[in-house]
Amino acid sequence: MEWTGVAFADLGRVWPDLQALTPAGMHLTSGGGLRAYWNEDFVLSMEGRFSAEQRLLAFSLGNIF
């Protein structure tokens, strides 16, 4: 069994057209988690994601893809 820690950040915004392309109104989401790999194919993933709009705790069980 192998344990791996992950950290991530995502910054972005949706624009209706190219004339509205400005950095104003960007949204940031960040988080981290743990992944446990077993026999190279089976993965248990636990992640926490945080933004101004929401907070999410996610669990995943299965393959990495």
- Residue indicated by tokens 């636990």: 46
Give the pLDDT of residue 65. Answer: 59
Tell me, letter by letter, the H, E, C secondary structure of 27-62: EEEEEEEEEEEECCCEEEEEEEEEECCCEEEEEEEE
pLDDT tens string 20-59:
778 788 889 999 999 998 887 788 999 999 998 899 999 9
Q: Considering the entire predicted model, what is its pTM?
A: 0.64
Give the pLDDT of residue 29. Answer: 93
